[in-house]
Structure 1
């Protein structure tokens, strides 16, 4: 949507395994006349064969994000343990299929692979004592299958660039929140910024295990802006093949709550320990859990995210205007 609103003569094709749900249909309604949905399996070559051959830009973000979750009946699910092959097949083979299709495009200007900060190590020695934002080079230490598969995707994208001179770049996202951030069949996770904003928009008090847990939270529309800048950047402007997209600083849950209270008078959190709505671990303060260095994106793309307080205010306003979201 961000791209189509900025480029009023362009059209886009969105590939998904499922049709648009009601929330997505409402969100894309303003640009629906220039948005085509191609439903299919990203691991199947015949799905890619049906796509337009004149695409100029490709953003590949299709993935299974197998976070453990509890369903509406109270049953615990662990998608990584329940179906590890699905995680690896979609995330690795799906990426290879996308790149293999992209190399047949005659007018491809850029392919962006959407990776994740989860490729970074959990623990970085010395970072807690002397905090520094994590740069793209070094500190990579994938652990779970999701992490491994996303880093594999980065390496595959890099190799396709070398083999075919494809204009490929990767982005590593920190904790994203914003419009359409909701549980789906392939991603059932809600970060602290999402939970705080929802509670504030609905006028609920939020219980937390600790107000001191941290994260680097970035607003989805700012991520969209970064992707657009990366797609449009000239070859000469890009000096790297991987970019962190984040806010560049950490915020505690207490910080998030303060920003939310500024936009929703009377909002508050309470620390309850067990059974909390937000269970983020305050001991996780380094590596993927800390701040990400965004200086590359600033230098090469001229990109800066909005202040976190402004992002929380905008998201809470959007939630109030679009109340049919998960609680």
Structure 2
């Protein structure tokens, strides 16, 4: 088993590569830029999702068996408006090009990372949650539209390519390896709050922002378990925490380790959040049947993230 992880220099891709290598599963990371981190069993190749020849050359002769497609542009509204063609070229057409390269390379299982953004303004089900088999996506942002179009395109093309496809829709994520970048313009509020606390700056929240915030190491561990499973996977699986927490909860967890002054002021926030209203949580019963376990509580996540920073010289938050 050799797993290709695209976007391996980014936030989620790095977390997944780390989780796979911890299980001693060989990983080939693919990205436009070299990663800041490496692990035993990790190799890396440079390629561009906008260039089919680049992808074909990167995958040829690597004996790859599985792929986790985590590479994406996660733009804010201003970036979407200024670069709509780039957003769709990477998130939609890049996924299609990658499938074509995977077919040629002999890859047989593909986990396509999608997003809660595909649901857009959809109403939740009676239990207040989004469900894989019942909630109809109605994406609003160009990011959500591109992700949903990529889902539909790959579901159309994967069977004829002989590739076993599963769509993983991720909820809001925070944790180690996170930073703002050209491909991910706005980091999670948790990351912004941690950076402010480390720099001794006070924090002003826009609101409490309750959501099923998922620690990145939990999400990565679940994805690593799914890609290495011997059983057939459902066509869509939610990746989420299964529990709602908010930003005051995170501030309280961090304040046990760092001096932190915070309050809520919607008129003058220092913490950016890309959604004007709060979103329903993802139902994760399907995930829990496949990968039993529980999420990391916020106090333990705060301690773990700070420990990761302290023991990772190359790790930076910005």
TM-score range, shorter chain: 0.7 to 0.9
Q: SS at the partner of 2:256? A: helix
Contact 1:297 1:303 in 2 (8 A): no
| TM-score normalised according to structure 2 size | 0.84
Instruction: Name structure 1 gaps, 5 residues minimum.
Output: 69-77
Alignment of 1:1-327 (within 5 A): 1-7=18-24, 10-20=25-35, 24=36, 27-28=37-38, 30-31=39-40, 34-50=41-57, 51-53=59-61, 54-68=63-77, 78-106=78-106, 108-124=107-123, 132-137=128-133, 138-210=135-207, 212-236=208-232, 238=233, 240-264=234-258, 266-280=259-273, 284-285=277-278, 289-322=279-312, 325-326=316-317
Larger Rg belongs to? 1
In 2: Cα distance, 1:310 partner to 1:249 partner? 15
- Unmatched 5+ stretches in structure 2: 1-17
**What CA RMSD, in Å, does the superposition of the two structures yield over aligned residues?**
2.4
Give me the whole-angstrom Cα distance separating, in 2, the residues matched to 1:92 and 1:179: 27
CA separation of 1:168/1:113 partners in 2, compared to 1, >3 Å: closer, same or farther?
same
Per the alignment, do residues 325 and 243 of structure 1 end up closer, same or farther by CA in structure 2, a change over 3 Å counting?
A: same
TM-score by length of 1: 0.82
Aligned length: 297
After TM superposition, the structure 1 stretch with the greater mean CA deviation from structure 2, 192-201 or 147-156, is: 192-201
CA 1:176–1:315: 2 relative to 1, 3 Å: same
Distance 2:310 2:201 in 1: 13
Q: Which residue of 2 aligns with 1:73?
A: none
Q: 1: CA distance between counterparts of 2:92 and 2:275?
A: 32
Q: Which moved more, 1:252-261 or 1:298-307?
A: 298-307
Deviation at 1:275, TM superposition (A): 2.9
Structure 1 Cα separation of the partners of residues 21 and 299 of structure 2:
27
Contact 2:193 2:203 in 1 (8 A): yes
Question: 3-state DSSP class of the match of 1:155?
Answer: helix
Any idea what the Cα deviations from partners look like across 1:2-41, whole Å, max 9, x if unmatched?
Answer: 212211xx53221112233xxx2xx32x43xx43322221
Q: 2:116 and 2:53 mapped to 1: Cα distance?
A: 31
Question: Deviation of residue 149 (structure 1)?
Answer: 0.6
Matched residue SS, 1:86? helix
Deviation at 1:269, TM superposition (A): 1.1
Contact 2:91 2:150 in 1 (8 A): yes
